[in-house]
Structure 1
Amino acid sequence: MSFDGMFTHSMVNELNRTLKGGRISKIQQPFANELILTVRSNRKNEQLLLSAHPSYARLQVTTQPFANPAKPSTFVMSLRKYITSAIVQGFRQLNNDRVVMIDLSAKNELGDIHQYTLTIEIMSRHSNIFLINNETNNIVDLIKRVSPENNSFRGLLPGDTYQLPPSQNKMNPFTATKEDFENLDDANAIREKFEGIGLDTSDELEEIMKKNGDPIEFINNFDELISANTANLHKNKKLGFFPIEYKNTTDIIGYYPTLGQLLDNYYLDRARIDRIEQQTKSITHRLSIILKKDKSKIKKLNKQLEQTKIMDQYNLYGELLTTYMSKIERGSKSIILTNYYNNEEVKIALNPEYSPSDNAQSYYKRYRKLQNSIPHINEQLEITTNEVNYLDSVLASLEYVDIEDVDGIIEELEESGYIKKKKKNQRRKKKKTVGEKFETSTGIQVIVGKNNIENDKLTMKLAQKNHYWLHVKGIPGSHVILESSDPDEQSLVEAASIAAYYSKARDSAKVPVDYLQVRNIRKPNGAKPGFVIFEGQKTMLVDPDRNLVNKLKVDTK
């Protein structure tokens, strides 16, 4: 399900229960399109996220940590001026559209009370967040300013009169009657007539109508169904989120007590990967070019290696021509000779311009050339394959590391010579302990490397020889150390689940994880960061479990 009008309706109800009457105590803009309002409500601080991201636009209460930029944006400065300490009067939805108004009451420097509306329009790439002065209906400021040349329908600059986005002239399903659903044949017709109904809701309503059920009863009971159960579903091999458990959906991953927690779980990886991509776009582009060249080189090397298989045949031809030299007539283009190793006849092509002796030496020369090329081809194949595996591991790590770990990966690439080193004053050095720390249910510490340099330090320098090392089998991932010489089975399984989670197989099931003691691991001379070889390992199958990983994570802040 997308963040459609039905989900917006549900979210507005949840936010009114949670934040209505609260006071705004802090305003941040951690990313270009995202705003965080800290609201003091019911004796605790809640983070209200308003996102105008082109792909992840939404509003919700979130528990995810966000860093506060050192320099606030112009939009944040405007918000702090007008609505710091404002009281949240309530949340309103425009009909059943994805437009939400947050009514605010704030005092100015003289103590006079003024009314403002913080409006979020969830419209894909046109999503926006506005602060509107209710007395004048003018835009105080907005998160995305658009010049008149790029938008002729309405003004999208501070000082412009606020106008609602273009209406679709559809009916609000929450004000509909049973007659309004008559003559609607399928889900498409339902979406065409009613506002804010997405694919999954229209499919559910179509199914209800096919079974002679009452669609109005479903809509009227929608809010009660949400309060009873909030589900996160896996449907048709695609991860999706739903406010309720629809009858025509299957493969439930998990239930969450609030819609905010549901969205945190759903968007966690998507938003994180998107932010990392923004920060490392030029780097990943460069690595992808190198990777493409390396893979092409490996194909050529393998082709050359395949061609060397004919060298024994060339050697045989040289031997036979030398042995039967007297039978060869000068100027012949070919000759049939008996192979004295198996008594089979062999047809050998000849150069008519060469003497019999020169023809034999020509085959010996080709044999030696191919024979001498094999060590070079194998050496280049090993070097290039190791580089491909290394670059694959770096690109894979960007899929599962946190945003704060990106600097470590950039430093690793600088040390390895893949990107140019920045001047020392261009990046602030952060003194940081190696790896992410976890603790199993039985109290054993687990440490996870977050880049290949950390993996090397963790495995080859910091880990004790009798501790256990874990890594996904044959897939790029982090090195994981279980700090025990005799771990219980539960701790091994939990450490293996962590290893599977911090790998390219994060979204898979039944992931094979190798484990063995550190003493059985060694690093070849000159090997790329993170590359080790080992023997005597055992393998177990585990599922990467985010909930388990979050539960076992040690808070080091």
Structure 2
Amino acid sequence: MALDGIVIANVVRDLNSTILGGKINKIAQPENDELLITVKNQKTQYRLLISAGASLPLIYLTESNKPSPITAPNFCMLLRKHIGSGRFTRIWQPGLERIINFEIEHLNELGDLCTKTLVVEIMGKHSNIIFCGDEGKIIDSIKHVPAQMSSVREVLPGRDYFIPETQHKLNPLEAGEAAFADAVFTKPMPLGKALHTSLTGISPLIAEEVCHRASLESSQSANTFTELERIHLYGIFTHLMDDVREGNFTPNIVFNGKEPVDFSSVTLTQYSDMSVRGCLSVSEVLENYYAVKNTITRIRQKSSDLRRIVQTALERNRKKYDLQLRQMKDTEKKDKYKVYGELINTYGYGLEPGAKKLEALNYYTNEMVTIPLDPTLTPQENAQKNFDKYNKLKRTCEALTDLIKETKSEIDHLESISTALDIALSEDDLVQVKEELTEYGYIKRRFAGNKKPKITSKPFHYISSDGYHIYVGKNNYQNEELTFKFATGNDWWFHAKGAPGSHVIVKSNNEELPDKTFEEAARLAAYYSKNRGSDKVEVDYIEKKHVKKTNGGPPGFVIYHTNYSMVIDSDISGIKTGD
């Protein structure tokens, strides 16, 4: 699930067949760590997206455009100055490194032909885009790396560019059998780990694939295999490297239902129980695979402030709730003091002055009890002292009962908001969540008056296998709207039992729903709840007319009785989405 050396080799092959020889028409920097280069080649326009993001480094051709800041960042302006009308003359990958070099010819200010190199390093958190002169000197980079950040290599203007060789890995495209065996089979570690830690550009995914093709256990120590097993593994590996050298790539995405779980530029035989979708190009693979992941990453960044507010409030209320429960537990002994007072009044007439205890028969349990006494008080005063303790604990219990109910309600409300943040897929989805936090005082309203923001987010819409329309609320406001304004009495209502989540409404059209539709609606309720990902989720369902709003409760909170329940998984693959 990473851009390994094989995927990069596939990218280089595709770029050589599309933009090599093309002229740079436009350079933009939509994000701080991202470039979008428009190239014209043979009457065709291409857009090359390059991201050096620490969490999601990427490079692929795309048809999509992205808005850029009005004032271009300095690195973007530098590239425009030097190579704004340049031409790609060479695109190559050193060895099987996760690096792509773009050699670009351009005319300098004097009209002389010059060559520059744009180096794209796809290396996780160390990813970078580095612009170098014709002698290998760094002109600038999208990320500066001073000596304080890295003792291995500085990436600063004026420094020499070089590929850091910190791990001394073997180039798999040039590895002979003896070198391969020495690098892999001498290590006392699992075979899969020995492969990806010894060979450049080989990811854990590819290492696992090689072991699977060779029918060898990847978890077995690499130095325990027989000579025949070693020869067999090397043969499988060599065949894979031959495909890479010859450009025999098969870009594909592996799906578990509807969810993409992995991708590669070679066929992945290890996922025999999942579906594989082949793509025309590796750019199509990367764009499709990371579209959802990138959206989720971006929206999580934009919702981080809201999450922090919700989490802080949750932690505060959970601590308060635990304290209240402990205090309530202390009040459980209140009845003991009432009994003590009654027993002292009953048997205290025979006590001697200054007595420190009274042993008496508890006529409620028919057992002997020892009652501690204050020797400075009379029996009547000791009895009253116990009655006072009883009354105090009784008042505390009554007050705590209401407080605990209020605190639990607030925790449930905040957990429902937290789930809504997990469900959100766009900034529009966050608007209603922020408005709810503002309405309930977790965020101060910073604009004048009581004007509410424009709401454009809509519930999810699905269509069951039998053609019935299913709607899923994304947050508490949408849950309230769906249940009490959109749904009619004979529509069916679904919700994960005992867990924060979405209200799911099935429009019944006054017809009896098929079993398949009930199951699909329940899966949606399980998926859009806190229990998403569980194999078994209990889901309540009932006709909407039996669902009532809680008095004075937050939006989307309901009560219902005589409901049906089913236990189901949260896999919604195969459920058709609506408009």
TM-score by length of 1: 0.81
Q: Indicate how the Cα distance of structure 1 residues 47 and 144 shifts in structure 2: closer, same or farther if over 3 A, else same.
A: same
Whole-Å separation in 2 of the counterparts to 1:470 and 1:296: 32
Instruction: Tell me by how many angstroms 1:233 deviates.
Output: 7.8
Q: How many residues align?
A: 544
User: Which residue in 1 is equivalent to 2:200?
Assistant: 195
User: Which residue in 1 is equivalent to 2:239?
Assistant: 217
Whole-Å separation in 1 of the counterparts to 2:443 and 2:501: 22
**Counterpart contact for 2:250–2:265, Cα < 8 Å:** no
Instruction: Tell me by how many angstroms 1:189 deviates.
Output: 5.2
The one-letter code sitting in structure 2 at the alignment partner of 1:347 is T
Instruction: Tell me by how many angstroms 1:177 deviates.
Output: 2.6
Per mean C-alpha deviation after superposition, the further-off stretch among 225-234 and 323-332 is: 225-234
Whole-Å separation in 1 of the counterparts to 2:334 and 2:461: 55
Q: 1:461 aligns with which of 485, 488, 497?
A: 485
User: Which residue in 1 is equivalent to 2:276?
Assistant: 255
**Counterpart contact for 1:177–1:216, Cα < 8 Å:** no
Q: Which 5+ residue runs of structure 1 have no aligned equivalent?
A: none
User: Which residue in 1 is equivalent to 2:123?
Assistant: 123
Instruction: Tell me by how many angstroms 1:126 deviates.
Output: 2.5
Determine whether 1:9 maps to 2:9: yes
**Counterpart contact for 1:291–1:388, Cα < 8 Å:** yes
User: Which residue in 2 is equivalent to 1:501?
Assistant: 527
Whole-Å separation in 1 of the counterparts to 2:87 and 2:471: 44
Cα offsets for 1:89-141 (capped at 9, x unmatched): 785322111112356689999x99997755321122221224667x7877776
**Counterpart contact for 1:232–1:262, Cα < 8 Å:** no
**Counterpart contact for 1:104–1:117, Cα < 8 Å:** yes
The one-letter code sitting in structure 2 at the alignment partner of 1:199 is P
Q: What SS does the corresponding residue of 1:174 show, helix, strand or coil?
A: coil
Q: What SS does the corresponding residue of 2:318 show, helix, strand or coil?
A: helix
Determine whether 1:172 maps to 2:195: no
Q: What SS does the corresponding residue of 1:512 show, helix, strand or coil?
A: strand
Cα offsets for 1:174-232 (capped at 9, x unmatched): 23232332334144654554322233434555674842402322432468998557353
**Counterpart contact for 2:243–2:249, Cα < 8 Å:** no
Q: 1:324 aligns with which of 323, 341, 347?
A: 347
Instruction: Tell me by how many angstroms 1:146 deviates.
Output: 5.1
Q: Indicate how the Cα distance of structure 1 residues 260 and 308 shifts in structure 2: closer, same or farther if over 3 A, else same.
A: farther
User: Which residue in 1 is equivalent to 2:445?
Assistant: 421
Q: What SS does the corresponding residue of 2:501 show, helix, strand or coil?
A: coil
Work out the percentage of aligned pairs sharing the same amino acid.
32
Q: What SS does the corresponding residue of 1:256 show, helix, strand or coil?
A: strand
Instruction: Tell me by how many angstroms 1:355 deviates.
Output: 0.8
**Counterpart contact for 1:24–1:39, Cα < 8 Å:** yes
**Counterpart contact for 1:499–1:513, Cα < 8 Å:** yes
Cα offsets for 1:248-280 (capped at 9, x unmatched): x56854423235565567645654443234323
User: Which residue in 2 is equivalent to 1:552?
Assistant: 577
User: Which residue in 1 is equivalent to 2:540?
Assistant: 514
**Counterpart contact for 2:121–2:127, Cα < 8 Å:** yes
Cα offsets for 1:408-467 (capped at 9, x unmatched): 322221111101223269x99444254233333444333322222222222223332322
The one-letter code sitting in structure 2 at the alignment partner of 1:179 is A
User: Which residue in 2 is equivalent to 1:385?
Assistant: 408
The one-letter code sitting in structure 2 at the alignment partner of 1:295 is R
**Counterpart contact for 1:397–1:504, Cα < 8 Å:** no
Q: 1:449 aligns with which of 446, 467, 473?
A: 473
Cα offsets for 1:287-339 (capped at 9, x unmatched): 32221121111111111222222122222222211122312333111111112
**Counterpart contact for 1:471–1:478, Cα < 8 Å:** yes
User: Which residue in 2 is equivalent to 1:354?
Assistant: 377
User: Which residue in 2 is equivalent to 1:288?
Assistant: 311
Cα offsets for 1:12-40 (capped at 9, x unmatched): 44565677788888766554334455778
Whole-Å separation in 2 of the counterparts to 1:143 and 1:206: 38
Q: Indicate how the Cα distance of structure 1 residues 437 and 69 shifts in structure 2: closer, same or farther if over 3 A, else same.
A: farther
Whole-Å separation in 2 of the counterparts to 1:225 and 1:51: 24
Determine whether 1:163 maps to 2:188: no
Q: 2:421 aligns with which of 395, 398, 402?
A: 398
Whole-Å separation in 2 of the counterparts to 1:503 and 1:413: 19
User: Which residue in 2 is equivalent to 1:532?
Assistant: 558
**Counterpart contact for 1:465–1:518, Cα < 8 Å:** yes
The one-letter code sitting in structure 1 at the alignment partner of 2:206 is T
The one-letter code sitting in structure 1 at the alignment partner of 2:94 is L
Give the RMSD, CA atoms, in angstroms: 4.2
Q: Indicate how the Cα distance of structure 1 residues 442 and 360 shifts in structure 2: closer, same or farther if over 3 A, else same.
A: same
Whole-Å separation in 1 of the counterparts to 2:384 and 2:456: 65
**Counterpart contact for 1:229–1:244, Cα < 8 Å:** yes
User: Which residue in 1 is equivalent to 2:220?
Assistant: none
Instruction: Tell me by how many angstroms 1:358 deviates.
Output: 1.1
Instruction: Tell me by how many angstroms 1:385 deviates.
Output: 1.0
The one-letter code sitting in structure 1 at the alignment partner of 2:277 is Y
The one-letter code sitting in structure 2 at the alignment partner of 1:3 is L
Per mean C-alpha deviation after superposition, the further-off stretch among 39-48 and 68-77 is: 39-48
Cα offsets for 1:59-88 (capped at 9, x unmatched): 24579x886356364255666778789887
**Counterpart contact for 1:400–1:504, Cα < 8 Å:** no
Whole-Å separation in 2 of the counterparts to 1:100 and 1:410: 42
Q: What SS does the corresponding residue of 2:541 show, helix, strand or coil?
A: strand
User: Which residue in 1 is equivalent to 2:54?
Assistant: 54
Q: Indicate how the Cα distance of structure 1 residues 199 and 295 shifts in structure 2: closer, same or farther if over 3 A, else same.
A: same
Q: Indicate how the Cα distance of structure 1 residues 428 and 151 shifts in structure 2: closer, same or farther if over 3 A, else same.
A: farther
Whole-Å separation in 2 of the counterparts to 1:531 and 1:416: 14
